[in-house]
Amino acid sequence: MVAGLLLLGAAGCVAPVGDDGSWEAFRERFREGDTDAFLVEGDIVVDEAELFEYYLDTLGEDDAAVARAQGALIANDPSSVGNYDRRGGATIDYCYDDGWGRAQDGYTAPQLAMVMANVDRAARMWNGVADIHFRHRRDLDGAGCNNGLRWSGEIEFWVTHHSSTNASGAFPSAGHDFQMLKVPPGGIPTNLALHELGHILGFRHEHERGEAAPRYCDDLTSYHALTEFDPQSVMMYADCTVGSAILGTIPPSRLDGIGARRAYGNPRWWYAGAF
Residue of 201, 186, 208 lying closest to 42 (CA atoms): 208
Q: Please check whether residue 240 is in contact with residue 215, taking contact to mean a CB–CB distance below 8 angstroms.
A: yes
Per-residue confidence at 102, pLDDT binned at 50, 70, 90? Answer: very high
φ, ψ (nearest 5 deg) of residue 132: -110, 140
Q: Please report the domains of the chain, with CATH numbers, ordered by start residue.
A: 6-268 (3.40.390.10)
Q: What is the pLDDT of residue 106?
A: 92
Q: What is the pLDDT of residue 137?
A: 93
pLDDT above 60: residue 50 = yes
Per-residue confidence at 72, pLDDT binned at 50, 70, 90? Answer: very low
Q: Strand 6-7 to strand 224-225: parallel, antiparallel, or no bridges (unpaired)?
A: antiparallel
pLDDT above 50: residue 123 = yes
Q: What is the pLDDT of residue 191?
A: 95
- Please indicate whether residue 243 or residue 100 has the higher confidence score (pLDDT): 100
Q: What is the pLDDT of residue 65?
A: 46
Q: How many CA atoms lie within 13 A of 124 on its CB side?
A: 7
> Mean pLDDT across the stretch 23-27?
71
- Please report, for residues 7, 73, 111, 115, 143, the alpha-carbon distance to residue 80 in angstroms, rounded to integers and kept in the order given: 11, 11, 36, 30, 33
Q: What is the pLDDT of residue 209?
A: 77
pLDDT, tens digit, 9 for 90 and up, residues 190-202: 999 999 999 888 8
Angle at 158 between CA 254 and CA 7, to 5 degrees: 35
Residue of 183, 29, 39, 168 lying closest to 107 (CA atoms): 183
Per-residue b or e along 232-255, where b marks 16 or more CB atoms closer than 10 Å to that residue's CB: ebbbbbeebeeeeebbebebbbbb
Q: Please check whether residue 218 is in contact with residue 241, taking contact to mean a CB–CB distance below 8 angstroms.
A: no
Residues 30 and 38: their CA atoms lie apart, in Å, by: 5
Q: Please check whether residue 111 is in contact with residue 101, taking contact to mean a CB–CB distance below 8 angstroms.
A: yes
Q: What is the pLDDT of residue 30?
A: 81
pLDDT above 60: residue 66 = no
- Can you give the pTM of this predicted structure? 0.74
Q: Please check whether residue 174 is in contact with residue 45, taking contact to mean a CB–CB distance below 8 angstroms.
A: yes
